[in-house]
Structure 1
Amino acid sequence: SGVSGVDDATVPQAFVVVLAGTTAAALSRLVATTEALRRTREQLAVSAVGAERERVARDLHDVLGHTLSLMVVKAAAVRRLVPTDPAAAASHAEDIERIGRTAMSQVRDTIHDAQAPTLEEQLGAARDALSAADVVTSIRIESPPVGVADELLAWTLREGVTNVLRHACADHCWLTLAHAGGAHRLTVCDDGVGSRGRPHGQGGLEGLRVRLESAGGGMTTRGTPEGFTLTAWVPDEQGEA
């Protein structure tokens, strides 16, 4: 009877001890998991901020690099034309004002990720910029892309033409868009100074490469004594899937 009484008291006590230990272990694991989730959330937030900072920096470089290059070309045209053709010089001056206003709007849109360039508008800008720089331009377009592919190749065209304006000292530029092997392929080719005088390492072309590769595309560049060629491609799935 005494032994039975001791056993009857011991079992509930043992259960309480086990339950308390299990609860404490569960709470400890919950606290550890909560802390791990908090750290992960903070890391993701930092990563998101870093990714957004890189996007803004890349987009601002591409937008302002092209726009400022175009304004420099237009300003040079004004200086060249003032003595002989004041009306044409005034027209270029009006373009500089318009481009400057557009640039301010583009900067706002870039910061807020509000508007992406289109290939059609970039083709028009390329014609205008290269013509103002006295670069004879040949354009051949086959099967224009749509969707994300259009946006990516618009960025490519903008960067390619900006490099021609800044570094090539070219007389001719050829812009070709073709479709083959399940991809749209854009080529920007000039007869300028090749790789000489062009920046190396980080910069607009590296940012462009990141854009293209993140979408399953790619880019190559080739400089020779006869000129410089940039070729970029984007798979159909980015626009037509």
Structure 2
Amino acid sequence: MFYIFLGVSLCRVIYVLLTNDGNVDIFDLLLLILSPALPVLASRSLSEKQRQKQTLESENQRLHLLAKERDRIAQALHDDLGQSFSLLALKAEVAQKLLKKDPLKAQLQIEQIADEARADLELVRQIVHDLKYETLAQVLYQANEKLSQAKIILIVENDDNVALWKQEVQQVVAAVINEAVTNAIRYSRANIFKVIFKEDGTNYHVTIRDNGIGFAAKQISFGLSGIKQRVTDLGGNTTFTTENGAVIILRLPKRKGGSDDAQNLSS
């Protein structure tokens, strides 16, 4: 459209110059010359609005995912520890009442309290251990911060249920995303970075892509090679291709006995 308007405008300018013996109104001439810029400005305005809309939608998705992860942790604390502490308090009250009436039963209650307290302590350690690992929600939030500084838009699709994916799977996918973000910022010359999550009855699927120069102009880094090995260790596979930019495709199996299998059976 730009070149069409430019050609028409230049033809018009030449025609006016040739047919008016050089007596051309300067304002008409400027209008004819600047008219090709109008569709360009309109196109840029529409493009910027679309980009802002995509950015806002992606940000809302990430905030929603972080909120779901927060709610999941809060629910786990309430269900696992809240009920257990309530039971411990009740048993402590019973033991206190039995101290004078039946010391043997009181001693049994105290032993049970000690056993359950040790089990709760182990549970707390496990929760703290789990919190040390970055979830996909956290990684995507941090990735958006890094990409925004490099003026790259992050778009995330189908991330509603990734917080329920197994921890070991989230860790590997998070490592791949971090490495891909680093490569995109350093080498890709892209302005869009997209992560697409999918899953079926047997596998998790993740596609990571940008719209940059792809892998043709740079070798797959040592970091990505190491990530490929980690995916293989989980029984999955990784594909690196160049299709209008760098594309990384992950397939990770849902192993039997995992939480996802239990959820699938229950559903």
| TM-score, scaled relative to structure 2 | 0.44
Q: Which has the higher contact order (CA 8 A, sep 6+)?
A: 1
| TM-score, scaled relative to structure 1 | 0.48
